[in-house]
C-alpha cells in the first residue's frame, strides 16, 4: 500500500523544518513543513512570488547565487545565514519568533524541470540554539573570568586587527597600559578576596568611560591595557587622565574609602615606523614604568 497525493502532502506539511521549492529564476513553487510557530514563520503565502518581490535586492541576489551554486554543484550544498520576518514581505512578524533567526540551509537540485525551469529544494533549519552556544563559548574563550574584561588572546587579536588597519588605511590607534599602585600591599592588608573586589569594581568603572569599540583587557595580575582604535595620542592622553581620576573614585564608592587605590598609566600611539604592534606595547610599558618612577598616580606618554 502506498500513500496517495493528499497523504503525501500531509506528510510534507508535518515536517518540522520548512522546505521550499524555488526555481532557478527565484520563484517559490512549493512551501512545506514548519508548522511550529515557536521556531518559524508561516511562509505558505510565498508560493507564486519571486524572491525579488519579497526580499531586499541584496538578500534576493544572495538567494539566487546560492541556487545557482547548488545547481552547478549538482549535489547538496550547505550555507548558514540569518533572516528576520521583517526582511520578507508577506510574513506575519507577530506569528512566529520575534528575533532574527539563524538558519542552516541545505539545497539540492530538484529532479526534473518545473514549468520548463530547473529548481532546487531548500530545507531551512533553525540553529539559533547552536549559534547562541557558539557565541557564549567564544565569549568565554576571550574573557578574563574574574574581571569580565578581555583576556590576552582577545587583546592580541584586536591589536593585530588594528595594526593591519593602521598599515593599510592609516587609521590611528593608541594604547593605555595601567596598573594599580601598591596592589600587593592592599592584598596583604585586606586579603585576596578584597583585592578581587577592587579589580572587578575598577574594571566596571573603566568600562563606563570607554566607547563601544574600545577594548579593556587584563594583561596580567593588576595590569590592564586599553586599546583605543581611531584615536590619536592627545585624545588618548585625555582618556587616560579620566581613567586615573574617575575610575578609582567610582571604585571607592563601590568598595570603601579604606581600600581606595590610585593608578599609574602609560600611553603611546602607533607610528609609521612600527613594524609590529609589539612596539607600541613596549612603549606603553616603558611609559608606565616612568609613571611609577615619577611618583605613581600619574600619566606618562612615549611616542618614539
| Residues with Cβ within 8 Å of residue 95, at least 6 apart in sequence | 37, 41, 42
State what percent of residues in the chain have pLDDT above 70: 97
Candidates 269, 209, 218; CA nearest to 241 is 209
Average pLDDT over residues 207-228: 95
Active site residues: 222
Average pLDDT over residues 269-273: 95
What cell numbers appear for 113 in the block?
524541470
Position 252 pLDDT exceeds 60: yes
Could you give the 3-state DSSP secondary structure of residue 127? coil
- Return the bridge partners of 114, or none: 117
Q: State how far the Cα of 91 lies from the Cα of 99, in Å rounded to an integer.
A: 14
pLDDT for res 253: 67
- Return the bridge partners of 121, or none: 21, 108
Percent helix, strand and coil across the chain, each rounded to 5? 45, 25, 30
Per-residue burial over 147-186, b = 16 or more CB atoms within 10 Å of its CB, e = otherwise: bebbbeebbeebbeebbebbeeeeebbbbbbbbbbebeeb
pLDDT for res 67: 97
> What confidence tier does 254 reach under pLDDT thresholds 50, 70, 90?
low
Half-sphere exposure of 162 (CA within 13 A, CB side): 25
The class (CATH top level) of 142-301 is: alpha beta
Position 213 pLDDT exceeds 90: yes
In this predicted model, what pLDDT tens digit does every residue of 172-188 receive, in sequence order?
999 999 999 988 888 88
| Structure-derived torsion over alpha carbons of residues 8, 10, 12, 14, reported in degrees to the nearest 10 | -150
Q: State how far the Cα of 89 lies from the Cα of 189, in Å rounded to an integer.
A: 65
> What confidence tier does 98 reach under pLDDT thresholds 50, 70, 90?
confident
Instruction: Quote the mean pLDDT of the chain.
Output: 91
Q: State how far the Cα of 40 lies from the Cα of 18, in Å rounded to an integer.
A: 8
What CATH code is assigned to 5-134? 3.30.450.20
Position 107 pLDDT exceeds 80: yes
State what percent of residues in the chain have pLDDT above 90: 70
pLDDT for res 1: 63
Average pLDDT over residues 229-252: 92
pLDDT for res 258: 54
Average pLDDT over residues 162-170: 94
More confident residue, 44 or 118: 118
> What confidence tier does 255 reach under pLDDT thresholds 50, 70, 90?
low
Average pLDDT over residues 208-236: 95
Q: Would 5-134 and 142-301 be classified into the same CATH topology? A: no
> What confidence tier does 39 reach under pLDDT thresholds 50, 70, 90?
confident
- Return the bridge partners of 175, or none: 227, 268
Residue spans of the domains in the chain: they are 5-134, 142-301
Amino acid at each position: 500500500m502506498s500513500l496517495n497525493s493528499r497523504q503525501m502532502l500531509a506528510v510534507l506539511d508535518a515536517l518540522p523544518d520548512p522546505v521550499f521549492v524555488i526555481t532557478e529564476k527565484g520563484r517559490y513553487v512549493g512551501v512545506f513543513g514548519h508548522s511550529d510557530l515557536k521556531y518559524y514563520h508561516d511562509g505558505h503565502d510565498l508560493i507564486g512570488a519571486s524572491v525579488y518581490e519579497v526580499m531586499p535586492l541584496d538578500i534576493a541576489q544572495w538567494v539566487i547565487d546560492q541556487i545557482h551554486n547548488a545547481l552547478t554543484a549538482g549535489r547538496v550544498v550547505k550555507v548558514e545565514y540569518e533572516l528576520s520576518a521583517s526582511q520578507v514581505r508577506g510574513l506575519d512578524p507577530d506569528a512566529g519568533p520575534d528575533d532574527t533567526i539563524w538558519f542552516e540551509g541545505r539545497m539540492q537540485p530538484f529532479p526534473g524541470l518545473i514549468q520548463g525551469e530547473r529548481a532546487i529544494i531548500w530545507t531551512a533549519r533553525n540553529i539559533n540554539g547552536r549559534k547562541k552556544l557558539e557565541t557564549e563559548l567564544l565569549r568565554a574563550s576571550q574573557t578574563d573570568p574574574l574581571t569580565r574584561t578581555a583576556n590576552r588572546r582577545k587583546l592580541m587579536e584586536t591589536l593585530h586587527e588594528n595594526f593591519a588597519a593602521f598599515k593599510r588605511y592609516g587609521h590611528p590607534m593608541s594604547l593605555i597600559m595601567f596598573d594599580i599602585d601598591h596592589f600587593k600591599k592592599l592584598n596583604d592588608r585586606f586579603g585576596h578576596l578584597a583585592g578581587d573586589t577592587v579589580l572587578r569594581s575598577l574594571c566596571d568603572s573603566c568600562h563606563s568611560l570607554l566607547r563601544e569599540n574600545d577594548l579593556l583587557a587584563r594583561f596580567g595580575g593588576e595590569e590592564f591595557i586599553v586599546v583605543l582604535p581611531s584615536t590619536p595620542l592627545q585624545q588618548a592622553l585625555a582618556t587616560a587622565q579620566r581613567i586615573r581620576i574617575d575610575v578609582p573614585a567610582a571604585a571607592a564608592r563601590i568598595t570603601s574609602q579604606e581600600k581606595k587605590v590610585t593608578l599609574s598609566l602609560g600611553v603611546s600611539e602607533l607610528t609609521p615606523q612600527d613594524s609590529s604592534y609589539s612596539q607600541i606595547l613596549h612603549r606603553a610599558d616603558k611609559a608606565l614604568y616612568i609613571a611609577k618612577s615619577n611618583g605613581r598616580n600619574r600619566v606618562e606618554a612615549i611616542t618614539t
